[in-house]
């Protein structure tokens, strides 16, 4: 094994061990922290210096996208005027591996006077920050992956995992759903799938609508012109059925010489699958997959024909 590959494997093993070791560090303070953040009427403000600050930004982003309103505050900027961003109803999540980071310790008098809940993440339960916190989460690791034991490696990984554990626990307690996540990610694939309604993607122009008495020869033309592979049989405002190009091909073999004089009502499916225009596109997709079909008739509030949606219309 080359030295390069050995170095990489050692790093993975050391950091994996650091993550596994977090389980032993979990105490009642973790549950206490979750309860405190759930009870917070303001925002969860995350702060940290250096690499801890970079991890803190990610934790704040994760919290915000999973139902816990949060933002990152640089402790140095806070001490020079940005403390005004911290309201009495806010909670602070302070990250410092040593627990003695000067820029964060300078905030403690203000936070205590302001009455803020302080949840700290440190690798030293006896540190000043840990002792002045409402709840302390122990992120101590046995060793850094850095061969000089100088660059934060295992410790920042452990911090990130502890932050994820906190966010996930809060999600469970809030009953946070995929639909809630989508509301905060409307521009992503998940947001589109969970928030977009069938009416937003359906086709409503030049629909292949035919009466029950239309002859199959004319139905072929209607299906071909619409290029949807299907015709919708409508009588007045009532949807009577649907016929696909596959149905037409099978009818050719069945009726042969009388095919062109046969009414479409003779071969139509009389109970076509439909979906409301107000339904989510995920519902339409599940309906198509369950019934092994590629298109659905879309109905309006009174059951009238509103459009048609095909499976590929729902794809990202």
Domain boundaries defined on the chain: 3-176, 195-313
Q: What is the pLDDT of residues 191-238, one digit of tens each?
A: 555 667 888 888 888 888 989 899 888 888 888 888 888 889 998 888
The better pLDDT of the pair 246, 315 is held by: 246
* Tokens read off for 295: 């298109």
Query: 299-303: which pairs have CB atoms within 8 A and are 24 or more residues apart?
Result: 299/239, 299/274, 299/275, 302/237, 303/239
Mean of all residue pLDDT scores within the chain: 88
Q: What is the mean pLDDT of residues 70-78?
A: 93
Indicate if the pLDDT at residue 117 is higher than 70: yes
**What's residue 179's pLDDT?**
62
Q: Does domain 195-313 have CATH number 3.10.580.10?
A: yes
Indicate if the pLDDT at residue 39 is higher than 80: yes
**What's residue 230's pLDDT?**
87
pTM of the model: 0.67
Instruction: Let me know if the fold of 3-176 is the same as that of 195-313.
Output: no
3-state secondary structure 138-174: ECCCCCCCCCCCCCCCHHHHHHHHHHHHHHHHHHHHH
The better pLDDT of the pair 257, 49 is held by: 49
Distance CA 206, CA 103 (A): 67
Q: Does domain 3-176 have CATH number 3.40.50.10490?
A: yes
């Amino acid at each position: 094994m080359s030295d390069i590959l050995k170095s990489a494997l050692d790093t993975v093993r050391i950091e994996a061990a650091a993550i596994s070791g977090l389980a032993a560090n979990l105490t009642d303070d973790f549950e206490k922290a979750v309860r405190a953040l759930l009870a917070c009427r303001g925002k969860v403000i995350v702060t940290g210096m250096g690499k801890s600050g970079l991890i803190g930004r990610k934790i704040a982003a994760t919290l915000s996208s999973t139902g816990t309103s949060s933002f990152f505050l640089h402790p140095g900027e806070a001490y020079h005027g940005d403390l005004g961003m911290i309201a009495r109803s806010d909670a602070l999540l302070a990250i410092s591996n040593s627990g003695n980071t000067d820029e964060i310790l300078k905030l403690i008098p203000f936070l205590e006077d302001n009455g803020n809940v302080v949840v700290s993440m440190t690798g030293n339960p006896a540190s000043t920050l840990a002792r002045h916190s409402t709840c302390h989460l122990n992120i101590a690791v046995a060793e850094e992956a850095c061969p000089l034991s100088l660059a934060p490696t295992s410790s920042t990984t452990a911090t990130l995992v502890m932050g994820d554990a906190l966010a996930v626990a809060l999600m469970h307690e809030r009953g946070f759903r995929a639909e809630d996540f989508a509301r905060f990610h409307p521009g992503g694939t998940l947001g589109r799938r969970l928030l977009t309604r069938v009416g937003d993607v359906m086709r409503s122009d030049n629909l292949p609508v035919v009466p029950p008495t239309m002859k199959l020869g004319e139905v072929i033309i209607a299906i071909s012109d619409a290029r949807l592979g299907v015709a919708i049989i409508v009588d007045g405002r009532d949807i009577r059925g649907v016929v696909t190009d596959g149905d037409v091909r099978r009818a050719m073999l069945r009726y042969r010489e009388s095919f062109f004089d046969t009414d479409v009502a003779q071969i139509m499916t009389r109970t076509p699958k439909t979906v409301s225009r107000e339904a989510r596109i995920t519902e339409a997709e599940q309906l198509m997959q369950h019934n092994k079909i590629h298109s659905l008739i879309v109905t309006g509030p009174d059951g009238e024909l509103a459009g048609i949606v095909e499976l590929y219309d729902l794809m990202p």
